Structure 1
Amino acid sequence: MVHYLQGLPHFFAYLIGALVLLATFMYCYSRITPHHEWELIRAGNAAAALAYGGSILGFTIPLYSAMANSVSYLDFVLWGVIAFGVQLATFFALKLFLRQQGESLSQHITEGHQAYGTLVGSISIAVGLINAASMTW
């Protein structure tokens, strides 16, 4: 029976590490966006939920890839941090692109425009998938 549980410490290390990275990402993402995701979601704003949920999935997908393909725990954490940065950069790039079009992404989200929430969520997931695939070299 002991042989079967030999990897349990590694399991918990990776699980806890991933959960810490995820919680940190969720906290940082909600702090750096000009709109307040949790307040908007509590008020029933679907656009905020779609955008925030998509960004969480967009981070979690490459985090999974980093976990599955890493050669060590440190390797996993470093690639997780890279995924973190890519996802934050995705938000800022989309925000900048829309600003150049004369639009405010945060205003659209705050006003509950579901199309913009879906756009942010979809782009976040798409970039997350590309990011994850890039980690499988």
Structure 2
Amino acid sequence: MLHYLQGLPHFFGYLISALGLLVAFMYCYSRITPHHEWTLIREGNAAAARAYGGSILGFTIPLYSAMANSVSYIDFILWGIIAFGVQLATFFGLKLFLRQQGESLSQHINEGHQAYGTLVGSVSIAVGLINAASMTW
């Protein structure tokens, strides 16, 4: 019976590390965006929830890919950190693109414009999928 559980320490190591990276991403993302996701979500702002939720999924998808395709624990952590950076860059890239169009992404999110929340969430997931596929060489 113990033979079947030999991988349990590795399982917990990867699981706890992945959850740690996810919590760190959620914290950092909510701290670096100009709008305050948690406050807006508590107030019922669906645009903030969609944008934040999409960003979380956009990070988790490549994190999964890094975990499934890594050759070692360190490899997994490094690719997880890369996924972290790509997802943060995605938000800032979209924000910059909209700013060049004369729009404020954070203002739209603050005002609850669901189309912008859906846009942020969708772009985040799309980039996350491309990021994940890029890790499957």
How many residue pairs match? The answer is 137
Whether 2:23 is the aligned partner of 1:23: answer yes
Match of 1:38 in 2: 38
Counterpart of 2:88, as a letter, is L
- Give the RMSD, CA atoms, in angstroms: 0.2
Deviation by residue 1:53-82 (Cα, 9 ceiling, x = unmatched) = 000000000000000000000000000000
Deviation by residue 1:72-128 (Cα, 9 ceiling, x = unmatched) = 000000000000000000000000000000000000000000000000000000000
Which ranges of structure 1 fall in alignment gaps of 5 or more residues?
A: none
- Output the CA distance in 2 between the equivalents of 1:64 and 1:93: 23
- Output the CA distance in 2 between the equivalents of 1:97 and 1:134: 24
Match of 2:105 in 1: 105
TM-score between both structures, scaled by the size of structure 2? 1.00
Match of 1:47 in 2: 47
- Output the CA distance in 1 between the equivalents of 2:108 and 2:94: 13
For 1:1-137, what aligned pairs fall within 5 Å after superposition?
1-137=1-137
Moved over 6 A (4+): none
Which ranges of structure 2 fall in alignment gaps of 5 or more residues?
A: none
Deviation at 1:8, TM superposition (A): 0.1
Deviation at 1:21, TM superposition (A): 0.1
- Output the CA distance in 1 between the equivalents of 2:92 and 2:119: 14
- Output the CA distance in 2 between the equivalents of 1:101 and 1:126: 21
Deviation at 1:24, TM superposition (A): 0.1
TM-score between both structures, scaled by the size of structure 1? 1.00
